[in-house]
Structure 1
């Protein structure tokens, strides 16, 4: 276990520690996050592909960002 303060102080050391197993990060003495290697993540989730494959959605999502009316302005050239 490592505190969030220790994590912020030496991220590289915590990443090295995560290479040999999950590292629990605490916040105010309570477990709040777990840092693990990507290989461990893949093993846990069953996503044995590339990093890009891990973010591919199963279905398409229609997305049209809304623009506030204030953002429509004339261009002054």
Structure 2
């Protein structure tokens, strides 16, 4: 998956380039250098909105290794579990 970044001016001048790039991955459109919009193919949009992803599906996602997440340590389990 490739990520493309276009300025608003570039997007307005060459929408066909943006549509072709969206077929390969998200296209970030910037206003004054700051991300303002994202262009996605309809397939990518439908994948994002079609259903909730369970943990097993999320772990099976391609490019999972590219996702960086920093989970804070949990202090909520202060006592041992009671299995009686």
Q: Give 1:1-77 correspondences, 5 Å limit.
A: 1-46=5-50
TM-align CA RMSD: 1.0
Aligned residue pairs, count: 47
Unaligned runs of 5+ in 1: 48-77
**Bigger Rg over Cα:** 1
Residues 33-56 of structure 1 deviation map (CA, whole Å, 9 limit, x = unaligned): 000000000000016xxxxxxxxx
TM-score w.r.t. length of structure 1: 0.59
Moved over 6 A (4+): none
TM-score w.r.t. length of structure 2: 0.54
Q: How many Å separate the matches in 2 of 1:6 and 1:25?
A: 9
